[in-house]
């Protein structure tokens, strides 16, 4: 598994999401959705959906740029990789703790029923 596989494993991100994230990381400045769409050679609406998924996971950040005459547009940049790694480590720790709890519940629930269960004839 490559390190980018963690993006899919932890957050269910699609290949396009990873491509958009890579484009943002490789860019020297924040990008608009149009810039991202061009970088991954997809329609704007398709790139926009990927950007929304990346925003929801916290992998990218959105900033608003205001025009002097009024109006604005958004640009996107990657979140600091150490923050993303910390978040994934926290998710892994939470998952590990939850699995330990479920295993203990399983053991508690079925440990006593072992003696009362009828033998299995083979």
Q: Could you tell me if 74 and 44 are in contact, meaning their C-beta atoms sit under 8 angstroms apart?
A: no
Average pLDDT over residues 23-31: 94
Cα 104 to Cα 106: distance, rounded to the nearest angstrom: 5
> What is the CATH number for 62?
1.10.10.10
Question: Residue 2 has what pLDDT?
Answer: 61
Give the domain range for residue 15: 1-79
One domain, residues 55 and 89: no
Please, where are the H alpha helices in 15-80?
Answer: 15-26, 33-40, 44-57
One domain, residues 57 and 85: no
For the beta carbon of residue 86, count every other beta carbon within 10 angstroms.
11
Residues 6+ apart with CB under 8 A from 69: none
One domain, residues 96 and 43: no
One domain, residues 89 and 31: no
| pLDDT (tens digit per residue) in 53-77 | 999 988 899 999 999 999 999 999 9
Average pLDDT over residues 77-89: 83
Question: Residue 113 has what pLDDT?
Answer: 64
**CA angle, 96 as apex, 104 and 82 as ends, to 5°?**
165
122 falls within a domain: no
One domain, residues 53 and 101: no
One domain, residues 108 and 72: no
**CA angle, 20 as apex, 15 and 24 as ends, to 5°?**
145
One domain, residues 46 and 96: no
One domain, residues 61 and 99: no
């Amino acid at each position: 598994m490559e390190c980018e596989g963690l993006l899919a494993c932890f957050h269910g991100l699609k290949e396009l999401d990873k491509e958009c994230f890579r484009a943002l990381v490789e860019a020297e400045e924040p990008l608009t959705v149009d810039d991202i769409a061009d970088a991954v050679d997809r329609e704007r609406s398709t790139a926009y959906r990927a950007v929304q998924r990346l925003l929801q996971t916290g992998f990218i950040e959105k900033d608003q740029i205001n025009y002097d005459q009024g109006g604005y547009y958004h640009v996107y940049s990657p979140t600091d990789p150490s923050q993303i790694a910390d978040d994934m480590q926290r998710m892994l720790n939470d998952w590990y703790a939850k699995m330990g709890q479920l295993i203990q519940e399983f053991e508690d629930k079925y440990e006593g029923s072992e003696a009362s269960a009828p033998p299995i004839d083979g």
